[in-house]
Amino acid sequence: MNNRKFHSNERRSFTKTSAAHQGNRRNRFNQSRKRRFAGKSIDITKFVNKITAPIAEEKFQSKILFADFPLDQRLKINISKQGFKSPTEIQEKTIPLILKGQDLIGLANTGTGKTGAFLIPMIEKILQNPREKLLIIAPTRELALQIQEEFRKFCANLKINSVVLVGGANIRPQINLLHSPHNVIIGTPGRLKDLVNRKKLFLQNVTNVVLDEADQMLDMGFVPDIRFLLSLTKSEKQTLLFSATLAPEIEKLSNEFLKNPVKVSIKTRDTSECVDQDVIRIQRHEDKIEVLGNLLSENSFQKVLVFSRTKHGAEKLSKALFHKGFKSESIHGNKSQAKRQKALQLFKEDFIQILVATDVAARGLDIPNVSHVINFDVPATFEDYVHRIGRTGRAGKIGSALTFIESR
């Protein structure tokens, strides 16, 4: 690993948005958090699942190839260049339906290939009719940028352009991008709404909408923003909704904006059978950070994602670990987009050992070879727990998830 110090003490760089807009977002988020913390606490036994070896699971074997889909040959070549020959289960079941123009609800866990499931047919649709406009709404900046990265790979040399509109980054370059030709808009709800209110973004020509990780957008209080944005798009459009769960509010949203949607579900279980799960009990006299530091010093803790419940807590913990000699960085909502992307890239490329994050990193992000997930703070819901530990134990490898439980 590189010995260079990567931790930054620079202050947060604020995007210039109206105080009222910021206040409304904060109130919605706080109300959402209150809802999530209400009710009974999670049963501790759900954090324990001891395994000794990877459990052989029946892998999905597609009976068709991407070459068999009715796609433009140039798109097929780009798919092949990415090393994809056969579709995943969600792709096999949804791509033909999307190509037929049907609205769709896709229920699938992260890591199942759902980004390709909606990008591939939507790119085909644009190739067939360059006047098609696509709006993709994602809950976090990281996921929006990850979708953009995958989009660019599939669209190499196809002359289909996209713009990414996310908070935490300078709004002026994004406004300038909107003046350039583009068929695809990828963005987070808050920034999209801000640009609409500034009369810089116009959605009346949008003919296709994708709502990715819809349940997380519900958790983050974005449903009112989504309703507002969708109300501005064409009444006759194709709408796709992807989610890990179908909460009542999400189902209500789908009833409002999707027309006779087909529901495709490939969810098989709540937690990965390849993740060894256990708890670390912290006694009253013990220092949690000291306990964490001792764990991280063990050789098996090679690439560790540590979750904190709050932005302030994530930053404080990352700095404490850095001062203890660990190569650590943080990722949370108070950091600028550039700093978040830099921290994530350093972690992906193994320049740092530890990434301390809020739940912003729990969904949709593809981070290879995470050896351990540590819940320094107990997650707000079991659903959050499932998404957190889903960052490890991937590609048939055994991962480890540890949850700190404080004695009372």
User: CATH code at 354?
Assistant: 3.40.50.300
Range of the domain at 388: 270-406
The DSSP element (H or E) to which 231 belongs, if any, is helix 223-231
Span 142-159, pLDDT tens digits = 899 999 999 999 999 999
56 domain-assigned: no
Final residue belonging to a domain, choices 239, 265, 291: 265
Q: Are 1 and 327 in contact (CB under 8 A)?
A: yes
- For the sheet with 372-375, list strands across it: 275-282, 399-406, 372-375, 304-307, 354-357, 328-331
- Cα–Cα distance, 153 to 391 (Å, whole number): 23
pLDDT, residue 171, reads 95
Helix (H, G, I), strand (E, B) or coil at 363: coil
Is 314's pLDDT higher than 60?
yes
Stated pTM of the model: 0.76
Is 182's pLDDT higher than 90?
yes
- Cα–Cα distance, 145 to 91 (Å, whole number): 21
pLDDT, residue 234, reads 96
282 and 163 in a common domain: no
Is 18's pLDDT higher than 50?
no
Q: Pull the structure tokens for residue 267.
A: 């969810």
Final residue belonging to a domain, choices 265, 299, 334: 265
pLDDT, residue 107, reads 92
199 domain-assigned: yes
pLDDT, residue 16, reads 40
10 domain-assigned: no
10 Å Cβ neighbour count for 202?
A: 11
Helix (H, G, I), strand (E, B) or coil at 67: helix
Is 321's pLDDT higher than 90?
yes
362 and 304 in a common domain: yes
207 domain-assigned: yes
Is 109's pLDDT higher than 70?
yes
7 domain-assigned: no
- Cα–Cα distance, 126 to 135 (Å, whole number): 12
Q: Are 74 and 158 in contact (CB under 8 A)?
A: yes
- Cα–Cα distance, 353 to 369 (Å, whole number): 11
303 and 220 in a common domain: no
98 domain-assigned: yes
Final residue belonging to a domain, choices 265, 292, 323: 265
Selection from 263, 193, 197 nearest residue 226 by Cα: 193
No. of helices (H) and no. of strands (E), the chain: 14, 13
46 domain-assigned: no
Number of domains in the chain: 2
Helix locations, 114-222, DSSP H = 114-128, 141-154, 171-177, 189-197, 214-219
Backbone dihedral angles phi then psi of residue 15, each to the nearest 5 degrees: -75, 140
